[in-house]
Structure 1
């Protein structure tokens, strides 16, 4: 049999195989479109033929274990399957239908004749096409992730306020949820956006460190007074997370939601949209939420701490040496 590709070298063979696959896919698609393949009748005939052998199978199953040893029974079962099944496959309506379709396809596309000389070659070719399209689909999905799910990285200090505005815009465009796990929350601009999301009817939840709720300018009590669901860790250790879940993305980094972090500290914040990254944060937030909620039942109706001042405190000035 003449080989499919006569080119030499890896790239030559790969190029030839790609061209042959593309040509086969186009021919199969056009033939299927014109013929309007339907295997329902063939499948029904196949089922009828299979069930016609039912009495033979029942007799073997009933009498076999009584007359044969275990190994012989298995062997006779396999042998009966082969004799009753595969030896007659050429006469089954399903295979006859496939053979007629193969012959019609080769007649319509003579260039594919050497590629599809029989039913076995047809099966191999169809499996190859399925594999190729599966690989193409996975590649396109990966490309889509790289293009549409590209991460953003925000660095601080940012005296222009553009990065805080970006965080607010992400919250403003959220449609379902804003879940925040934050060590320190004193930035009024970000807290105001949380309140707006809550008033829009989004699922807003906040987890804070209990000691940092007593920090100067902390916004915890203001959120509670507005009815925002909020829990604290209630533990001697720190709830030191700094992430937010906004629909299908997560904001994560070293950035605390404070004025000092935004305009004075060296911080980072990553905006990640990959579901493989978002889902673990989702699970961690849910775990903490139920754990801390069990510790602080009724905390929504309790006072956390009164704000010591109305405005967010400015960053502390560095002492001059």
Structure 2
């Protein structure tokens, strides 16, 4: 390679490097400015209220053939369409169930969804207190998941003892009465544990943040067929008066057989 060819090659390479750096700065200037002005998209925005400290929820989940589309701007300058489809609503329903922190009370005519059953089991494994009331005629009719759920001792299940059809479809997540009951059972268990009561130095007090409960109720049975094929609706609300009325109804169906709270001293 002669001198002229070498000089031309070096000049061309330098020009390419300079041009690429200039292009990079121009790109960063324009697109970073747009990114700063554009709201960030979070895939969990549809269930943002679940992470809200106050957990104020007023929502409706519609299982319908009509697809509701939302256009969202994503930085730097693209737009994507989110469809409120049956699949997304199934995900949303399960995410509400998974948000339980202390208790889950379920009053459901029919539970056949394997995915929801698995989520209930996971909640129980996390020491969420789970109670389920189901209609006696449908409890063990295939493909009911009740037999599977009953295999786990930490999930309490009762079939409705009422002579009339138990056709409810609701669940209460972290209801105040249910949490109070859980705390009462925990206190009773601690009183039975003489060692933990007497060994004051080893005892530690755990402070829990208050949790606001909410209820989900509507036409939907927890079945895959209903979520995939039927027109169904579920209302989700944390309004205390509504949550209180559903808790009262649940307690009227639940046959309480917890041991009496005993007091003892060391």
TM-score, length-scaled by structure 1: 0.43
The separation in 2 between residues aligned to 1:202 and 1:241, in whole angstroms, is 22
> CA 1:184–1:148 in structure 2 vs 1: closer, same or farther (change >3 Å)?
closer
Other-structure match for 2:59 = 152
Choose the corresponding residue for 2:130, options 199, 204, 215. 204
Displacement of 1:180 in angstroms is 0.3
Larger proportion of strand: 2
Superposed CA RMSD: 2.1
Contact 1:164 1:190 in 2 (8 A): no
Choose the corresponding residue for 1:232, options 159, 165, 186. 159
Structure 2 SS opposite 1:174: coil
Matches within 5 A, 1:33-112: none
Other-structure match for 1:193 = 119
> CA 1:148–1:186 in structure 2 vs 1: closer, same or farther (change >3 Å)?
closer
> CA 1:157–1:215 in structure 2 vs 1: closer, same or farther (change >3 Å)?
farther
Contact 1:208 1:233 in 2 (8 A): yes
> CA 1:149–1:157 in structure 2 vs 1: closer, same or farther (change >3 Å)?
same
Contact 2:133 2:159 in 1 (8 A): yes
Contact 1:250 1:278 in 2 (8 A): yes
The separation in 1 between residues aligned to 2:240 and 2:117, in whole angstroms, is 26
The structure having more radius of gyration, on CA atoms, is: 1
The separation in 1 between residues aligned to 2:163 and 2:141, in whole angstroms, is 16
Larger proportion of helix: 1
Matches within 5 A, 1:216-231: 216-227=142-153, 228-231=155-158
Q: Is 1:184 matched with 2:149?
A: no
Matches within 5 A, 1:151-300: 151-157=58-64, 160-227=86-153, 228-247=155-174, 248-290=213-255
Q: How many residues align?
A: 147
> CA 1:214–1:284 in structure 2 vs 1: closer, same or farther (change >3 Å)?
same
Other-structure match for 1:319 = none
TM-score, length-scaled by structure 2: 0.52
The separation in 2 between residues aligned to 1:250 and 1:211, in whole angstroms, is 25
Structure 1 SS opposite 2:221: coil
Other-structure match for 2:6 = none
Contact 1:157 1:261 in 2 (8 A): no
Unpaired segments ≥5 residues, structure 2: 1-53, 66-84, 175-212, 259-266
Displacement of 1:257 in angstroms is 0.3
Q: Which has the higher contact order (CA 8 A, sep 6+)?
A: 2
Structure 2 SS opposite 1:213: coil
Displacement of 1:163 in angstroms is 1.6
The separation in 2 between residues aligned to 1:192 and 1:285, in whole angstroms, is 23
